[in-house]
Amino acid sequence: MTQDRASVFRSRATAPKAAAIAGILFSILLFISLALLLKALSTDTDLNRIEFTANKHQIKLALNLIPFASIAFLWFVGVVRDRFGDQEDQFFGTVFLGSGLLFIAMLFVSSSVAGSFFLLSGIEANQLMNSGYHNISLIVARETMTNYGIRMAGVFMISTSSLFIRTQVIPRWLAWLGLGLAAIMILRIGYINRLGWVFLSFPLWVLLVSIYILIDNYRKKKELQMP
């Protein structure tokens, strides 16, 4: 009987375990990418040549990490949605999926604009620095990330936290923490938020959720293995 219960649990535990691993990977990659991009894009738009050269390698690293972070995020969304199963509310489920996809889209748009500029800068650096395209590119990339992308991340956190409260997959305090952080991100409360650094609370929250799911998964597995 115990063996049958353990086999059933292993089949059901695949989703939360995969979600936790994907969430941890996404959190680490996105945190590094956002930290590097915000450090470069949140500065004064009138960058001189020295600042531009110093930030170039950091932005290249961030742009190379974003596709892998996005893949891990999509895996995280898919597996968490599978975990909800029949308990998923259609309304919050639609917002959950839609906001997650829009967040990835905003992240890609911002990365594409910044990446295009820095790729062209290696060929026509002097012309770009002397023209207005330098400031325009950085402003578009920064606004897409810190204005639209950050709000889509906030909507994703609200819908996900609401589903967590309904399904009780994670503790209520962790879900309410997500709602509070999401409100700050959407309303852009505070000076740090206007600079975009509060965006880092999104991967940190996903990291906390993923770690809890992974620990809870192993705890239940040990309980079932006990005679």
pLDDT of residue 133: 57
pLDDT of residue 1: 40
Q: Which two tokens stand for residue 35?
A: 């930290």
Angle among Cα 11, 27, 40 to the nearest 5 degrees reads: 160
DSSP state of 88: -
- In order of 80, 93, 114, the CA distances from 35 in angstroms are 26, 30, 15
pTM over 0.75: yes
pLDDT of residue 55: 64
Q: What is the mean pLDDT of each run of 10 residues along the chain (227 residues)?
A: 45 64 90 80 49 64 88 85 71 85 90 76 55 66 82 91 85 91 78 65 90 81 63
Residue reference for tokens 């590097």:
36
The closest alpha carbon to 41, from 103, 115, 106, belongs to: 115
pLDDT of residue 132: 54
Q: What gap in Å lies between CA 150 and CA 82, rounded to an integer?
A: 25
Q: Which two tokens stand for residue 79?
A: 């597996």
Annotate 70-98 with b (16+ C-beta within 10 A) or e (fewer).
bebbebbbbbbbebbeeebeeebeebbbe
Q: Which two tokens stand for residue 140?
A: 């578009």
Q: Long-range contacts for 189-193 (Cβ within 8 Å, ≥24 apart)?
A: none
Q: Which two tokens stand for residue 199?
A: 């965006």
Contact predicate 90/36, CB 8 Å: no
pLDDT of residue 104: 92
pLDDT of residue 92: 77
Contact predicate 128/152, CB 8 Å: no
pLDDT of residue 158: 92
Residue reference for tokens 């690293």:
61
Residue reference for tokens 């742009």:
63
The closest alpha carbon to 26, from 114, 103, 110, belongs to: 103
